[in-house]
Structure 1
Amino acid sequence: MKERVLDLVFLVGVLFKGLDGLVELIGGVVLLFVTPAKLVGAIGALTAKELSEDPHDLIANLLIHGVAHVGSSGLAFVAAYLLLHGAVKIAIVIALLIGSRRIYPWAMAALGAFLVFQIYELITKPSIGVAVLTVFDAVIIWLTWREWRRGRELRDTWRGTIAWVFHRDAPAVPGES
């Protein structure tokens, strides 16, 4: 049972990484064409209603303060980071979905490099969002290592887990009791 739950967490995590990569890619493209003043105005418009109802709303205030001091060079860095990070995540998810076990070490290395950067960010500019993302990425790296060590491709994990979730005759998981 524990093995199947970990398989499900791995699959949901991979899918989440793919969606997250797509959102980052779109965000990076948008930031390439937005000036800092337009970004501040857009965030102000997006959060105005929420802040009028709750002036202490954590997310709205984080967004407002996050873009308040962004200059053109900072915006270009964030856009480049989002484009690179999003593209790498999408490439990893696509490679995993295609079914090559050879991608596991590359996926772990790429996510590990981003993890190191996130840890640096936590040390220099601590934030709850980066802390949560760092823990999530560490769990995904561990689950990817687990799948690679078990010698399974993502599609095998997918089939067995879906069968388990819908209570069909699922193939046995090696090491499961």
Structure 2
Amino acid sequence: MPPRTRDRVLDLVFLLGVLFKGIDGLVELIAGVVLLILTPSQLLDLAHALTAGELAQDPHDILANLVLHGIQHLDSATATFVALYLLLHGVVKLAIVAALLLGTRRIYPWAIGALLAFLVFQVYELIVHPTITVVLLTLFDALIIVLTWREWRNDRTFRETMRSTLDWVLRRPAA
């Protein structure tokens, strides 16, 4: 792949990663609020209602069984910790995405620092409770950190990267 094309692909991966982080942050925020509002028994009732149809069709459905298993072992203290973690993580991710969209380069070091802090916690989780999901999220976060550093080093705002990448994807000449 020629260097220019490689750079464009990395720009596109960065943009899609930021989009994913924004969506993920919103989902985490909603999940955190739900965990604070509902009791563990209410969550279990909700999980049973949401998975009943799928489990009726396939009693061995992995996702449905993982959801039920996870919620069955949830107590109030754990639910509160997870809710606060999700709320903090969601707010930080949404703040980073919003700041990037506003066009300031000053957010890059803060974004890298926040993502590194979460990455350290994820590595701890990998050591204590290794799961493939945490491995994948950790690798994705590491990639986003590297790409964010690359954007900061290239002295571009998110908007500039987005504009030039969209021009490239749509095959229009860059301005």
Where on the TM-score scale, by shorter chain, does this alignment land: which range? over 0.9
Matched, 1:21 2:21: no
Tell me which of 21, 32, 55 is aligned to 1:51: 55
Tell me the residue number matched to 2:69: 65
Q: Structure 1 vs Structure 2: percent identity of aligned residues?
A: 64
Shift of residue 93, structure 1, vs aligned partner: 0.5
Of stretches 129-138 and 107-116 in structure 1, the one that deviates more from structure 2 is 129-138
| Partner residue in 2 for 1:114 | 118
1:2 aligned counterpart, secondary structure = helix
Distance 2:48 2:139 in 1: 30
| 2:150 corresponds to | 146
Within the candidate set 40, 43, 46, 1:42 is matched to 46
Q: CA deviation at 1:54?
A: 1.7
d(CA) in 1 for partners of 2:107, 2:21? 15
Shift of 1:83: 0.5
If the length of structure 1 is used for normalisation, what is the TM-score?
0.94
Instruction: Determine which of 30, 37, 43 is the counterpart of 1:33.
Output: 37
Which segments of structure 1 move beyond 6 Å, counting only runs of 4 or more? none
Q: How many residues align?
A: 171
TM-score w.r.t. structure 2 length?
Answer: 0.95
1:175 match: none
Cα distance per residue 1:75-133 (max 9 Å; x no partner): 11111011100000000001111111111011001001001101111110111211111
1:85 aligned residue? 89
Unaligned stretches of 5+ residues in structure 2 = none
Distance in 1, Cα, partners of 2:138 & 2:59? 29
Which residue identity is paired with 1:117? F
Instruction: Tell me the distance in 2 between the aligned counterparts of 1:70 and 1:80.
Output: 15
